[in-house]
Structure 1
């Protein structure tokens, strides 16, 4: 993912400041001649005007909830996200763990982690059944992370899961399971940032206390240049700079790899970890995706999710994604939050989200015209962490009763009310919600009020008082999974009392009447 701590910023900045001068590469060229790729023929092309005719397909607007497998070799050490990069940064906890557990990265680097990822307990069929039961309507597989390791049988790259590690087409296995369980299928690509992000592997140890000061890391070995890249001129400094390379050679390399992924697996959704990479090259890839999934009248069934950071941000041309955060209020265009129930890769020391936290986020996001894409943390062997198992059990129980308030809904005139307002923007997850916080959705003439906690006494919903709804009439209120409720609509609020319930469960009211839905 694109998040980074202050400590990572410091280490990245220090590393770049002390980097060896780049060595010239014989014959290397940055000329665009012959490198500009072309999209598959169809309605869309690489122009902004063409892409901004895009309309989000109904399946995505109706789905509301997807599950992501943000999983790969970086899960092996059990230290969390960005391990492939941070193991090469002296002073970082990942470097300390790596040296202690595996040895110095001059001899044992990331290339040697890959064979340790065997995925021996990976059962996509059983996992997909659990995800579908938990309410997911689409599933997203990691395609390639910043570690430059493809999880499919890539024809452009030997470092892939079909040939190494699990020796299995992970993307293909996920795709087949999603299809059997009726889920839309997506893939994520983080390759665009890899050419700059992974610069530290080219460096050398700078700490005299290591006993290896000045010794090159294994990324400097030309035998492994196809894994570690040969970009020595654009180091990512950990401060948002050089997230994407400006070198046309690497941009074309990215285009060929990602279009191979698109052509072989025909994903309904593709996620990039940033804005649209590389200008016209990235837009050609988006057009390629859309044209490959063209339906009647040329309207595409594909979704491309991108962020308002780095690269090119075109919210009319693709779906906006917010990493570990939300948007403010009801957005006129469908959008998506991506987050995880823990760290992005398995972290044995991690803190995990509870079922109530995830459901509160889901309700807030859906009420604002968004979708939630939730990573469910997996162990390196492919099994689920106990916390992930517990979360799925809780989601399944809640969705069995309350899914009608989520799937296929649309926002109401207000997204909600209450004392808690989630902070808008990337990396800003917040919200200690209470029973006084309410989120609204609508479907089929009904208004749904999702309470973000189980009230212990009378509830008062101000947005449903007669002054807020002049001329409207509430005729019936049902507690989903429970009884019809008695209520009183006063001028200032709708008042009602719920039966006693589990304080960790979010109750949902189905409200019917006239003049308000």
Structure 2
């Protein structure tokens, strides 16, 4: 290897855009130019709060979605016995017992709307390749005769879910896995499957890879043609992307065991997105963790960035202990969910909260209780969430700030500790100050609060009557009609 090539590789390792445990927000953002997409992104940024649902045959075992059939040795995809081929066969046979007879997506949509959610993303296909819609390109699907649920009037699950949520005026998002571990054009039975990647040499068998590209484009175009308006196309499996020879070499130098078979996996995203938007103009495309023009917003997974991000982003977060359904799930508290929402929105993001349906097609009671609790808080405070944008310093101590993008009204949300059950006597901010004579209230109350300037900030007095009987629990929001600039 030439010294210049080695220097490039070592430099590249320090700036890997993927597989550094997903510091997506550090990637370069490529602004969209399509006016219809920009309009939809603005709408999406206004609504702030969405529902993500991971659901498939794997829910019958109460295990992590798909990953247990991947041969990588990771703690989240361990198998109960040591015969991989037998396990994979048993996993794929889950198709023959998947029968979610209590499936009622209207109930899910109503509960999500009650919580204040306004968009949704559903797993139409995860990495295992089991298709939750009626695809003509595979028999490994919910509508195949091998699947007991295929005789149910609601058998085309994706269609039923999209229709139910669209009835409640949700923006509709389709999760779609780019890798497909069931497709013979991705995992060819002629070879072993050492990791998550395509298991044959794409350069040696280019015709087979072309068939996988056609298969992928075919399924995506089905979703864009037969399932009504789709606002968001949410791709997962970011290792399926074009790689340069230098990038592949860099991973080999790094000896990342997750990528032992890394190679160029180009599915022609430019053509695919062109096909999508020909059918569905303005569709937001999220090619997750792939730096480039087809990642219209960034998705830091199951974590909240420390700082404000100046371009569109969303945090997909787990509500019940796992992305997929598990036995005896423990759901986060309403307080934690509300604080999560405020923290994310104050930094300019959206919260996509994951709730996983059960094998019978139901939400757990704990999920409904969580959604109801969030909804009660949103009944009082939603104006501090919707149609807002970040305002510096975004957060100060226990206070998260937002600002309505039209009226410029500022909201200061006090996030109490677990042992705080009422607002404090005073709330102080050092970095923003109302204009003289500005009215300050607490959302849910008509009481004008006394405030005074302190340095460059101000202090608000919360009267005893309001402290003892606050209009909401879990977080209290001050509404400041006008601030100095």
TM-score bracket, normalised by the shorter chain, equals 0.7 to 0.9
> Which residue number in structure 2 is paired with residue 28 of structure 1?
none
> Which residue number in structure 2 is paired with residue 480 of structure 1?
443
Q: How far 1:70 moved relative to its partner?
A: 1.2
Matches within 5 A, 1:70-85: 70-82=54-66, 84-85=68-69
CA distance in 2, matches of 1:507, 1:91: 40
Q: Quick check: 1:177 aligned with 2:164?
A: yes
Contact (CA 8 Å) 2:399, 2:415: kept in 1 or not?
Answer: yes
> Which residue number in structure 2 is paired with residue 21 of structure 1?
none
SS in 1 for 2:102: coil
CA distance in 2, matches of 1:68, 1:121: 19
Q: Quick check: 1:459 aligned with 2:427?
A: yes
Q: How far 1:331 moved relative to its partner?
A: 2.5
SS in 1 for 2:390: strand
Q: Quick check: 1:442 aligned with 2:404?
A: yes
Matches within 5 A, 1:13-28: none
CA distance in 2, matches of 1:314, 1:496: 49
Q: How far 1:98 moved relative to its partner?
A: 10
Q: How far 1:354 moved relative to its partner?
A: 1.7
Contact (CA 8 Å) 2:119, 2:170: kept in 1 or not?
Answer: yes
Q: How far 1:226 moved relative to its partner?
A: 5.5
Q: Quick check: 1:142 aligned with 2:123?
A: yes
> Which residue number in structure 2 is paired with residue 513 of structure 1?
482
Q: Quick check: 1:337 aligned with 2:315?
A: yes
Q: How far 1:352 moved relative to its partner?
A: 2.8
Render the CA deviation track for 1:96-152: whole Å, top value 9, x for unaligned.
2799xxx99269512221222211111111211111111111122211011101111
> Which residue number in structure 2 is paired with residue 367 of structure 1?
346
Render the CA deviation track for 1:49-84: whole Å, top value 9, x for unaligned.
996555252321211111122111111111333455
CA distance in 2, matches of 1:87, 1:504: 46
SS in 1 for 2:130: coil
SS in 1 for 2:438: strand
> Which residue number in structure 2 is paired with residue 271 of structure 1?
234
Cα 1:154–1:447, aligned 2, differ >3 Å: closer, same or farther? same
Q: Quick check: 1:193 aligned with 2:161?
A: no
Contact (CA 8 Å) 2:187, 2:193: kept in 1 or not?
Answer: no
> Which residue number in structure 2 is paired with residue 406 of structure 1?
385
Q: Quick check: 1:288 aligned with 2:275?
A: yes
Cα 1:228–1:273, aligned 2, differ >3 Å: closer, same or farther? closer
CA distance in 2, matches of 1:4, 1:388: 32
- Aligned alpha-carbon RMSD (Å): 3.6
Q: Quick check: 1:394 aligned with 2:373?
A: yes
Corresponding residue pairs, total: 408
Contact (CA 8 Å) 2:325, 2:358: kept in 1 or not?
Answer: yes
Render the CA deviation track for 1:349-372: whole Å, top value 9, x for unaligned.
544322222221211221222111
Q: How far 1:256 moved relative to its partner?
A: 1.6
Q: How far 1:284 moved relative to its partner?
A: 1.8
CA distance in 1, matches of 2:74, 2:393: 50
Cα 1:172–1:97, aligned 2, differ >3 Å: closer, same or farther? farther
> Which residue number in structure 2 is paired with residue 430 of structure 1?
none
> Which residue number in structure 1 is paired with residue 132 of structure 2?
151
CA distance in 1, matches of 2:357, 2:328: 14
Cα 1:505–1:244, aligned 2, differ >3 Å: closer, same or farther? farther
Q: How far 1:341 moved relative to its partner?
A: 0.5
Cα 1:404–1:381, aligned 2, differ >3 Å: closer, same or farther? same
Contact (CA 8 Å) 2:81, 2:87: kept in 1 or not?
Answer: no
Q: 2:300 aligns with which of 303, 322, 331?
A: 322
Q: 1:385 aligns with which of 364, 378, 382?
A: 364
Contact (CA 8 Å) 1:86, 1:94: kept in 2 or not?
Answer: no
Unaligned runs of 5+ in 2: 1-17, 22-28, 203-208, 242-264, 417-421
- The TM-score normalised by the length of structure 1 is 0.70
Q: How far 1:439 moved relative to its partner?
A: 3.1
Cα 1:130–1:50, aligned 2, differ >3 Å: closer, same or farther? closer
Q: 1:111 aligns with which of 74, 85, 92?
A: 92
Cα 1:177–1:156, aligned 2, differ >3 Å: closer, same or farther? same
Cα 1:489–1:128, aligned 2, differ >3 Å: closer, same or farther? same
Cα 1:280–1:321, aligned 2, differ >3 Å: closer, same or farther? same
SS in 1 for 2:65: coil
Render the CA deviation track for 1:246-305: whole Å, top value 9, x for unaligned.
5333233222222222222241111111447444612222222233222xxxxx2x1112
Q: Quick check: 1:230 aligned with 2:188?
A: yes
Q: 2:44 aligns with which of 60, 64, 80?
A: 60
Q: How far 1:450 moved relative to its partner?
A: 1.7
Unaligned runs of 5+ in 1: 6-47, 199-224, 295-299, 419-435
CA distance in 2, matches of 1:513, 1:49: 34
